[in-house]
């Protein structure tokens, strides 16, 4: 893996069973496990992408949606610059709980964090319990981008991760360039591993954010569209 110019921590949140771990394995290794078990502690994977002539390394943290397996929240969110807030399109509850997840996300992370609402399992259209319009409304009300994905079918998975990484790149550039090193990985059995970015970097990130990150004006991504992220965060077929 070449040395990256930027390292961004991205966290996955959402109810148990929505497909967080499978989205991560599809993105990082192009794998899907139909019999995957509930995550215990924290899982971690990274992948690089090229944008604007720069190499960005997305360091993705995944934890348990189940309350009893929940990892230490503070450590999990610390230093995150992006988040995917995931629900299962065939489980209404998992969408309704997004409000709670978003609250938790906002409580524990920096105000400059960028987030995207992700309706996973869009291959289960016949069992769909969450109207796309409801999801778009929720996303718009909360300043989130929105996309539907399928970890099973590999639909829009790269696009979701790449879009959030590129959004993070747009706001974080001057601050996180100071870091120039990856966040420490969570070590096995110690999900609390990890250190916050220097206070200087975090203060700079907040300052830069006020300069006007366009995530509120991003058009919601269409349901199950294929394509690559464009410079404006939408898709180009």
Ligand X SMILES: Nc1nc2c(ncn2[C@@H]2O[C@H](COP(=O)(O)OP(=O)(O)OP(=O)(O)O)[C@@H](O)[C@H]2O)c(=O)[nH]1
Residue ranges in contact with ligand X by CB under 6 A:
16-22, 33-34, 36, 38-39, 64-66, 120-121, 123-124, 150-152
Distance CA 192, CA 72 (A): 6
How far apart are CB 166 and ligand X at their closest, in Å?
Answer: 23
Among 19, 21, 183, 204, interactor with Mg ion by CB under 5 A: 21
Task: List the single partner that 46 binds among Mg ion, ligand X, none, CB under 5 to 8 Å by kind.
Answer: none
Task: List the single partner that 120 binds among Mg ion, ligand X, none, CB under 5 to 8 Å by kind.
Answer: ligand X
Quick one: which of 25, 12, 196, 232 has its CA closest to 115?
Answer: 12
How far apart are CB 111 and ligand X at their closest, in Å?
Answer: 26
Distance CA 145, CA 215 (A): 7
Indicate whether 39 belongs to the interface with Mg ion (CB under 5 A).
yes
Count of residues in contact with Mg ion, rule CB under 5 A: 3
As a whole number of angstroms, the longest Cα–Cα distance in the chain is: 50
How far apart are CB 41 and ligand X at their closest, in Å?
Answer: 10
Burial (0-12, 13-18, 19+ Cβ within 10 Å), 128: middle
How far apart are CB 128 and ligand X at their closest, in Å?
Answer: 12
Helix spans in the chain (H): 20-29, 73-77, 92-96, 98-108, 132-141, 157-176, 199-210
């Amino acid at each position: 893996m070449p040395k990256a110019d930027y390292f961004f921590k991205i966290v996955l949140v959402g109810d148990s069973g929505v497909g967080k771990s499978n989205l991560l394995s599809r993105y990082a290794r192009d794998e899907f496990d139909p019999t995957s078990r509930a995550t215990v502690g924290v899982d971690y994977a990274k992948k690089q992408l090229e944008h604007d002539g720069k190499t960005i390394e997305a360091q993705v943290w995944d934890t348990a949606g189940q309350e009893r397996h929940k990892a230490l929240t503070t450590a999990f969110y610390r230093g995150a610059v992006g988040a995917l807030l995931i629900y299962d399109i065939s489980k209404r509850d998992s969408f309704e709980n997004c409000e709670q997840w978003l609250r938790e996300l906002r409580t524990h992370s920096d105000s400059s964090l960028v987030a995207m609402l992700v309706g996973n399992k869009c291959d289960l259209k016949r069992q769909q319990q969450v109207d796309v319009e409801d999801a778009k409304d929720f996303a718009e009300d909360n300043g989130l981008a929105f996309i539907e994905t399928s970890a099973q079918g590999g639909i829009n998975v790269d696009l979701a991760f790449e879009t959030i990484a590129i959004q993070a790149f747009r706001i974080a550039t001057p601050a996180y360039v100071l870091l120039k090193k990856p966040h420490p990985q969570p070590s096995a059995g110690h999900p609390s591993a990890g250190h916050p970015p220097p206070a200087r970097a975090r203060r700079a990130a907040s300052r830069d954010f006020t300069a006007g990150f366009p995530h509120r004006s991003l058009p919601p991504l269409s349901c199950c569209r294929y394509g690559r992220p464009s410079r404006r965060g939408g898709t180009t077929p």
